[in-house]
Structure 1
Amino acid sequence: MRKTGRSPRNSNATNTTNGPVRRLAAVSAAVAIGATMFVPAANAQSAGIPPEVAQAAVTATGSGASEPQQNAPEGGARMVTLGDSVMAGTTLPLVDGGQECFRSSDRYVSQVARSIGVYNTPDFQDTSCFGATLDSPPILTLVDQAAHHRDRGSFGPRTEHVLIQAGLNDKWGNPDVDLLDTALNCAINLVQGCDMNAVGEGRAQDPDAVTAQAYADRARVAVDYIKHYAPNAKVSFVGYPTYATNDRTCISIGGLPAEQPRDEAITRLFNNMQEAQRGAAEQLGVNFIDLKTPSAAHGGCTGEPWVSGILDPASGHQGVPVHLNPAGDHAVAGIVQSQM
């Protein structure tokens, strides 16, 4: 019999010129549309997106393929992954990954899985999903993803690698504010800006709440469960890529840069997340894979970006804004495989 163990249970959580204003207004609309493209219909309602809009957008991608939803072999799968949309990928073609989660067939973890010969086999088990979090409902939490893996028998003595990428979507400090709120109301808000006052105004997550201790506390239940039932696996927290260009929040719109000149809250959020993941990995005794440092020269407004913009020719017009583009998925796959 496959040893699956008990279900993990969470223990808890100004004035501007018209040109830039028009460009940032376009960003707001495109980010909202981009979000609907890859939010599963059932999860979209919780995110405030009409489910019929989300489903129509998913259908419009032309996806119809699915990855096998087979149970893992006796003793667990060799490679197991849990994460949010950066891991799930947003470039076409999309595949149906189950649990109402669509994923890119060329996402970086699938490229790693192909490289080690387990893609489209029961030895690769992935529950990454758009909107997933460490422990902030209503979309999949890390414990939820671990429970799905339990049901598939993913964890066992055969398991070699477990990759976890989560945290940016969680509610930090402000209990009703997630990353999408921060993006729409702060990062691309040229009128009010995205300085630290945005936190007190309820427009942004609180970057100062993102600490190693807080991250470790939110991930601990799932990590302890995984380490117990996959005792031979190397568990890794995967960080996030660089989104800034020259330390300034910037997104490419049709190949043109659109900067947020007052961006302290959003840049501190990304910087603190990097250090929180690194510190939490040390506390929990797991590996940390740094994507921010090697991607420093590949922000959204550079000549060779690893993240998508809006109608961005440098990204091949692919992907949801500030998610990995095809070049980014390929580069990250190599970095992750070399360190996992």
Structure 2
Amino acid sequence: MGEPGTLVNIGDSIAADPTVNDWFPYWVNIPTVARAASPIGCPTGANTFGKQVARGLGLDELDYSCTGMAATKPKNKSLGETFATAIADGALSVNTRRVLVTIGANDAYDATYNPAPGNVDAFVEAAAGAVDEIKAAAPNARVQIVGYPTIADGDFICPLHVIPSGIAAAPAVSVPQVRAVEVVAQEMQVRLAQRTGVEFVDMKPSTAANGMCSPDGQRQYAGVIDTTGPGNNLPFHANAAGHAHIAEVLLRS
């Protein structure tokens, strides 16, 4: 671990994005090859943005991402514990060149899945300690907080895509909580970057026309059932085009 020229990818399911077939055994705690391949026992996708960035930079990726990761929720995979494991493994070291941190979405909603703006301060406090540990353990690394892409279209989401958008637009459903959670997560990430002095890579401007309600050829965020857009692993997550775009933005940054 920690060979010269590494990229360490740490984050939640947007970063991990395993297939459903790999995710479900993890969720019910069944050992699998996909879990065994991860240093923290979490399956990940084969072509996530982290893997694409590592390839583009000519770095070896060390993947510590995991579905459900959070900084402030005790029942979730812990950001702090994950960083500690990466440091203990030697993954975060003087040989680390890039660290991608995608965190905040699972901290941005409460137990009823409503936005949790009151959790921003606690998130920043908890996550800042972890980021500071990264900077100390990997002093030569460029650390980037990876922003979340656009999901909702105002108060609306489009969970069902089964008819090509050239024939009929996907039905839009009013779920204002989704955009509200996006706003809270964005604030969490911006403040975390400001607090720790690392980069925040804002994905919102470049994905404004590519959310869940976008036409098939533009959509970068999959619906719950989505058979007409670019391929995706997890439903309600970035699809193949979304991962490619995030990787492109990071490589240009």
Which TM-score tier does this pair reach, normalised by the shorter chain? 0.7 to 0.9
The residue aligned with 2:8 is: 80
Say if 2:108 and 2:116, in contact at 8 Å, map to a contact too: no
Say if 1:160 and 1:232, in contact at 8 Å, map to a contact too: yes
Say if 1:252 and 1:258, in contact at 8 Å, map to a contact too: yes
Secondary structure of the corresponding residue to residue 91 of structure 2: coil
Secondary structure of the corresponding residue to residue 135 of structure 1: coil
TM-score calculated relative to the size of structure 2: 0.82
Say if 1:136 and 1:171, in contact at 8 Å, map to a contact too: no
Deviation at 1:246, TM superposition (A): 4.8
- Residues 89-168 of structure 1: matches in 2 within 5 Å? 89-91=17-19, 95-96=34-35, 97-98=37-38, 99-118=40-59, 123-168=60-105
Deviation at 1:167, TM superposition (A): 1.4
Supply the distance in 2 between the matched residues of 1:148 and 1:77 (Cα, whole angstroms). Answer: 19
Q: Which runs of 5+ in 1 are unaligned?
A: 1-70, 178-202
Supply the distance in 1 between the matched residues of 2:150 and 2:173 (Cα, whole angstroms). Answer: 15
- Residues 195-274 of structure 1: matches in 2 within 5 Å? 203-211=112-120, 213-255=121-163, 257-261=170-174, 263-274=175-186
Amino acid in the other structure paired with 2:16: A
Say if 2:68 and 2:77, in contact at 8 Å, map to a contact too: yes
Supply the distance in 1 between the matched residues of 2:186 and 2:89 (Cα, whole angstroms). Answer: 31
Supply the distance in 1 between the matched residues of 2:98 and 2:197 (Cα, whole angstroms). Answer: 14
Say if 1:77 and 1:155, in contact at 8 Å, map to a contact too: no
Amino acid in the other structure paired with 1:307: Y
Secondary structure of the corresponding residue to residue 44 of structure 2: strand
Amino acid in the other structure paired with 1:206: P
Secondary structure of the corresponding residue to residue 193 of structure 2: helix
Instruction: Select 1:336's aligned residue among 237, 250, 253.
Output: 250
Deviation at 1:117, TM superposition (A): 2.0
Do residues 327 (structure 1) and 245 (structure 2) align? Answer: no
Say if 2:159 and 2:223, in contact at 8 Å, map to a contact too: yes
Q: Deviations over 1:94-125 (max 9, x none)?
A: 6544233111111111111111223xxxx421
Deviation at 1:91, TM superposition (A): 4.9
Q: Deviations over 1:21-78 (max 9, x none)?
A: xxxxxxxxxxxxxxxxxxxxxxxxxxxxxxxxxxxxxxxxxxxxxxxxxx222xx652
The residue aligned with 2:232 is: 318
Amino acid in the other structure paired with 1:267: R
Supply the distance in 1 between the matched residues of 2:148 and 2:49 (Cα, whole angstroms). Answer: 12
Q: Which runs of 5+ in 2 are unaligned?
A: 23-33, 164-168
Q: Quickly say closer, same or farther: Cα 1:90–1:254, change in 2 above 3 A.
A: farther
Amino acid in the other structure paired with 1:245: D
- Residues 57-68 of structure 1: matches in 2 within 5 Å? none
Say if 2:11 and 2:101, in contact at 8 Å, map to a contact too: yes
Supply the distance in 2 between the matched residues of 1:257 and 1:298 (Cα, whole angstroms). Answer: 14
Between the two proteins, the alignment pairs up a number of residues equal to 233
Supply the distance in 2 between the matched residues of 1:325 and 1:115 (Cα, whole angstroms). Answer: 19
Deviation at 1:133, TM superposition (A): 1.1
Deviation at 1:317, TM superposition (A): 5.1
Instruction: Compare CA radii of gyration and give the structure with the larger one.
Output: 1
TM-score calculated relative to the size of structure 1: 0.63
Supply the distance in 2 between the matched residues of 1:227 and 1:126 (Cα, whole angstroms). Answer: 17
The residue aligned with 2:25 is: none
Deviation at 1:266, TM superposition (A): 2.7
Say if 1:308 and 1:323, in contact at 8 Å, map to a contact too: yes
Secondary structure of the corresponding residue to residue 148 of structure 1: helix
Deviation at 1:93, TM superposition (A): 9.5
Deviation at 1:149, TM superposition (A): 0.9
Say if 1:81 and 1:163, in contact at 8 Å, map to a contact too: yes
Amino acid in the other structure paired with 1:257: A
Supply the distance in 2 between the matched residues of 1:266 and 1:72 (Cα, whole angstroms). Answer: 38
